[in-house]
Structure 1
Amino acid sequence: MGAFASLLMMLGAVAAYHWVFLEGVRQGWPGFGSVARLVTQGELDSKELYMRENLDAMARKLGEMQGRMVQIESLGERVAGLAGINPQEFKLPAGSGGALVGGRDLTVDELMAAMDQLDRNTGSRVDWLTVVESRLFDQKILRTMVPTEEPVQGGQVGSPFGFRIDPITGRSAMHTGLDFPADTGTPILAAAGGVVVVQEVHPAYGNMVEIDHGNDLITRYAHSSRVLVRKGDIVKRGQKIAEVGSTGRSTGPHLHFEVWVSGVVQDPRRFLDAGENLAAAQLAPRGPRKQ
């Protein structure tokens, strides 16, 4: 009972002290104003320290994000060059902001302005990289539609493109493709992706397949012993479409391979060499990048 009474007295004393202190501040009694200012100033100092610590942490994080943006910009320049786009177009416009300047405290307004600028720059970089990605995708599709794949793996060329002595007539005649001698049944591969537009038995070409690769570019595969595709089929680069044979006007098993562009026969070796050079460039070891 005595402890309870003591507790009530302590609570009453605290309440009375609090009432007297507040009343003294309101009435302007001597000495109370200075004490109130000390208490208030301490609270303000604590709040300001808390805000400053948080602003400094946010500023450091923003500086890291801006550093990442510089790295993304540098990478974007290199990728844009691979896509055939002027890398200078990837650079941020003048006055768009950069890394935060150290050595001074940032205000809340300055920090928010820097964050807004970073957000705008990020959005523009995303849009630009989307354009670069689209261009690279178009180039990849285009490469898959150009006949650079060897139609007979590891095959050696027999008769090249150009004039030669015809093995049947013994007279000089134009040879409109490349011959790949191989055993009967050797796989014949599509030199590029496309659509089969011809699959027929021809008096001279024997079992023949033609593939349309778009852009007025067609490849022809002749003298097959067996054909595995039909007109209208979509084929991929390197897909097996037939097997080597000696059908039609032929003196032995081989693939006769032709390339036509806009109705004009071309030397297939130019296309196949381009594919070999590209493969060699991709496999070549890369030296240290210049700084």
Structure 2
Amino acid sequence: MAFVILSARTLAKSKTRTLSVRFFLGLATSALLLALGLGMLIGWLWRPTLLEPIESVAEQAVSDQDAPEVVAAQDGRLLVERVGELSGRLVQLELEAQSLAARLGAAREFQERMQGSEQVEGGRVAKTQPGSPSGGPMLEPLPEAGQSDAEVIPSDPMQDESTQGGVAVPIDPGAGAVPDVAATLLRIQDDADRLSTLLAGLDAATTSLSLAHMSFPGRTPVSGFRMTSTFGNRTDPFRGRLAFHSGVDFPAPSGTPIHASAGGRVIYAGYRREYGHTVEIDHGAGLVTRYAHASRLLVSRGMAVMPGQEIARVGNSGRSTGPHLHFEILRDGRFVDPAVYLARF
């Protein structure tokens, strides 16, 4: 079968063309394939826009279905993180408590040593080893018994503190029931806060006691040498008559280190006629220590010194019969027996 097409042209002869059916089938097939290809191309280009509403609806459905599980997982992670934070904080508080326990033990020991008083008895006689170096100012002897004022140790700063302590943990009325993890964590946090506050208070009290311990003149100023002349009335080594010995004497070779009996600030470092080269240290609370007859001074006025710090060297300067340290303690301007303080360390 064939199709005949008649063509009429101007200025030309008519021409007859014959087209077969196979040609038309090929043309139709090509058009169909072209249409299909064009449709696939359009579909591929427009797919995200066309499918976006459908995918959004599907994702929303899945999200709504899994929402409780997602929230639960997030809450679980938050609880684990919070438990970790609280555990770390409790460990830190435990370490602080252990450190405070050690400091409180030392403070308690110091407190026990502070019990009592350094009452000066009127007419007290000093014990002096014959032939030992001595000296110091010529002072009037102590009055008869009953005529001198008592000197007492400062009150213990901890005496008004309650002996009870610990963390105030609230009673849980729902004991035995299934615990609420979040509420339990909040209670633990509150307990940790209270414990932290308690430890801070104890730390402040312990620090106060530590400062008192550092400023208490109970450390022997000359190591390795014993006391040979005590506090009280004795025969003056120069005039041979009864006089008051206002401190204690430690005989030692010249150049032997002299150490601060407590921490404080140097208020005098120089030469006094009867005391010779002298250092005086203010320890606060009205307490002052005096170190006399030195051969050399290692500190100057205004310097802060630590307990046990070397401040001078033993000598024989001033009113002295030989190399030794004359050590005095004054409280509120009055002489007190250094042996009472030294016996507490």
Instruction: Name the TM-score, length of structure 1 as normaliser.
Output: 0.65
Q: Verify the 8 A CA contact 2:167 2:194 in the aligned structure 1.
A: no
SS across alignment from 1:48:
helix
State percent identity of aligned pairs. 32
Q: Please report how far the alpha carbon of residue 135 of structure 1 lies from its aligned counterpart in structure 2 after TM superposition.
A: 2.8
Describe the shift of the 1:199–1:146 C-alpha distance in structure 2 as closer, same or farther (beyond 3 A): same
Provide the C-alpha distance between the structure 2 equivalents of 1:170 and 1:255, rounded to a whole number of angstroms: 21
Provide the C-alpha distance between the structure 2 equivalents of 1:11 and 1:173, rounded to a whole number of angstroms: 119
Indicate yes or no: 2:130 matched with 1:54: no
Indicate yes or no: 2:203 matched with 1:133: yes
Provide the C-alpha distance between the structure 1 equivalents of 2:304 and 2:53, rounded to a whole number of angstroms: 91
Provide the C-alpha distance between the structure 1 equivalents of 2:88 and 2:305, rounded to a whole number of angstroms: 43
Structure 1: tracts of 5 or more residues without a match = 26-35, 276-291
| Residue correspondences, number | 253
Q: Any idea what the Cα deviations from partners look like across 1:145-177, whole Å, max 9, x if unmatched?
A: 111332123333222334555544556654332
Q: Please report how far the alpha carbon of residue 253 of structure 1 lies from its aligned counterpart in structure 2 after TM superposition.
A: 0.4
Letter in 2 for 1:44: D
Aligned to 1:211: 281
Provide the C-alpha distance between the structure 2 equivalents of 1:62 and 1:96, rounded to a whole number of angstroms: 21
Describe the shift of the 1:235–1:21 C-alpha distance in structure 2 as closer, same or farther (beyond 3 A): closer
Q: Verify the 8 A CA contact 2:97 2:199 in the aligned structure 1.
A: no
Aligned to 1:284: none
Q: Verify the 8 A CA contact 1:179 1:256 in the aligned structure 2.
A: yes
Describe the shift of the 1:93–1:69 C-alpha distance in structure 2 as closer, same or farther (beyond 3 A): farther
Answer 1 or 2: which has greater helix percent: 1
Structure with greater contact order relative to length (CA < 8 Å, sep ≥ 6)? 2
Q: Verify the 8 A CA contact 1:73 1:91 in the aligned structure 2.
A: no
Q: Please report how far the alpha carbon of residue 255 of structure 1 lies from its aligned counterpart in structure 2 after TM superposition.
A: 0.5
Describe the shift of the 1:68–1:88 C-alpha distance in structure 2 as closer, same or farther (beyond 3 A): farther
Aligned to 2:6: none
Describe the shift of the 1:215–1:18 C-alpha distance in structure 2 as closer, same or farther (beyond 3 A): closer
SS across alignment from 1:180:
strand
Q: Any idea what the Cα deviations from partners look like across 1:9-68, whole Å, max 9, x if unmatched?
A: 57889988888999xx9xxxxxxxxxx8xx83x533422212212222333443444455
Indicate yes or no: 2:255 matched with 1:185: yes
SS across alignment from 1:221:
strand
Letter in 1 for 2:294: S
Describe the shift of the 1:226–1:126 C-alpha distance in structure 2 as closer, same or farther (beyond 3 A): same
SS across alignment from 2:170:
coil
Instruction: Name the TM-score, length of structure 2 as normaliser.
Output: 0.56
Provide the C-alpha distance between the structure 2 equivalents of 1:54 and 1:214, rounded to a whole number of angstroms: 59
Aligned to 1:279: none
Q: Please report how far the alpha carbon of residue 246 of structure 1 lies from its aligned counterpart in structure 2 after TM superposition.
A: 1.1
Query: Which residue, 241, 248, 255 being the options, matches 2:325?
Result: 255
Query: Which residue, 62, 74, 91 being the options, matches 2:167?
Result: 91
Alpha-carbon RMSD across the aligned residues, in angstroms, is 4.3
Query: Which residue, 271, 274, 279 being the options, matches 1:201?
Result: 271
Describe the shift of the 1:271–1:21 C-alpha distance in structure 2 as closer, same or farther (beyond 3 A): closer
| Higher Cα Rg, which structure | 2
Q: Any idea what the Cα deviations from partners look like across 1:113-139, whole Å, max 9, x if unmatched?
A: 566656655555544444333333322
SS across alignment from 1:133:
helix
Letter in 2 for 1:145: S
